[in-house]
Amino acid sequence: MVLSSMQDLFADNVSFTTFKLNGFYSLGEWRRFLFIPYFFMLLLSTTSNCILIYLITSQRALHSPMFVLIGLMAIVDVFIPMFSVPHMLLSFLFDWNQISLVGCLMQMFCNQYVAAYQSTLLLWMALDRFFAICRPLSYHSYMQIPNLLKFMFVPILRNTLLNILIVSLAGKLHFCMKNEMDHCFCEHMGLIQLACEDTSINNLLGLTAALLIPAADFVFITVSYVMIFASVMKSGKSSMKAINTCITHIIVMVFSLIFFLTASLSYRIRNNFSSNSRTFISTMYTLFPSCFNPIIYGVRTKEIRQQLLKFFNRVKGSPH
């Protein structure tokens, strides 16, 4: 009885400061081969986004607000995998699966904070298209830097405060029961599930952040595009160029929303998702949009496609 009480007291006072990321460990020796597809996805993401950034910064024809926003999206897509995928690749090859609590919290904050700007940038793109199509005479005044900063301030403040609060509260939890995560990198839900105390506030805050950042952004985006299409149909203008640009943004938005909702719900509907399935979905939420956003913009945006062809022609024609 006394020994049991001492063990309980010890458990209550000890908190793990290192964790093991055991994503895909049930695959055994086959786990090492995951390095190949994930490495090539990282390479594709980095290369395609860097080319897109280079084109937008170097070509004066792509210096309009819309392309600047696409360039910012490419910067976000470059950074998102960098906070987690290199560590994941080393884990696949060398079984380096340990991470400190501080490292875990830093990785979690960087992933969540930068990923929050995917939906926020899609919102700014929707505003850009709204002013260009529905308020064309006032477009340049609306999209001047001082006016644009007004639209940027609130989302930036929201993303920063919510993510700092989420990570701070997660860092104060007591981890005394288990220090293994069935994941390849640190996620908020994955970490707080290891806590041996009430995490209802953490769960509520995570859900609130999901509602106030991606969900709220997508609601405003949807409203913007409904108004855009209504304006085009009402005016009878065959503004196919503007509509085509909107459709490109909508394709990117739908892909981002699907992966976000699937990754988020996989933790809340645990019985329907195996550990490997949940890990795979979360890694794809990190990598898939970063890989294919620049391809979608490159294929569907005429101006970018033209500059891309010129770029490859120059590279092909350059002397060795």
Residue type, 47: T
Range in 4-8, 174-178, 189-193, 290-294 with the lowest mean pLDDT: 4-8
Distance CA 157, CA 159 (A): 6
Query: Is the residue at 9 inside a domain?
Result: no
Query: Is the residue at 34 inside a domain?
Result: yes
Query: Is the residue at 2 inside a domain?
Result: no
Residue-level pLDDT at 77? 92
- Residues pairing with 99 in the sheet: 19
Residue-level pLDDT at 78? 94
Residue-level pLDDT at 105? 94
> Which range of residues forms the domain containing residue 160?
17-173+181-317
Query: Is the residue at 7 inside a domain?
Result: no
Residues 246, 252, 258, 261, Cα dihedral to 10°? -90
- Residues pairing with 18 in the sheet: 100
Nearest C-alpha neighbor of 212 from the set 76, 70, 112, 313: 112
Checking if the pLDDT of 3 tops 80, the result is no
174 alpha carbon, distance to own chain's centre: 28
Checking if the pLDDT of 271 tops 70, the result is no
**Percentage of residues in the chain having pLDDT higher than 90:** 24
Region 144-162 average pLDDT:
83
Query: Is the residue at 4 inside a domain?
Result: no
Residue-level pLDDT at 10? 40
Q: Which of the four pLDDT bands, split at 50, 70 and 90, describes residue 315?
A: confident
Distance CA 180, CA 183 (A): 9
Query: Is the residue at 6 inside a domain?
Result: no
Query: Is the residue at 233 inside a domain?
Result: yes
Distance CA 64, CA 242 (A): 14
CATH of the domain at 159: 1.20.1070.10
**Burial tier of 307 (Cβ tally within 10 Å: 0-12, 13-18, 19+):** buried
Checking if the pLDDT of 12 tops 60, the result is no
Region 77-96 average pLDDT:
91
Q: Which of the four pLDDT bands, split at 50, 70 and 90, describes residue 168?
A: very high
Sheet containing 98-100: give its strands across.
98-100, 18-21, 180-181
Region 229-245 average pLDDT:
70
H/E stretch holding 316 reads: helix 302-317
Residue-level pLDDT at 38? 94
Region 98-111 average pLDDT:
92
Region 123-127 average pLDDT:
87
Q: What is the mean pLDDT of the chain?
A: 83
Residue-level pLDDT at 295? 85
Query: Is the residue at 191 inside a domain?
Result: yes
Q: Which of the four pLDDT bands, split at 50, 70 and 90, describes residue 254?
A: confident
How many domains does one find in the chain? 1
Structure tokens at 293: 């956003």
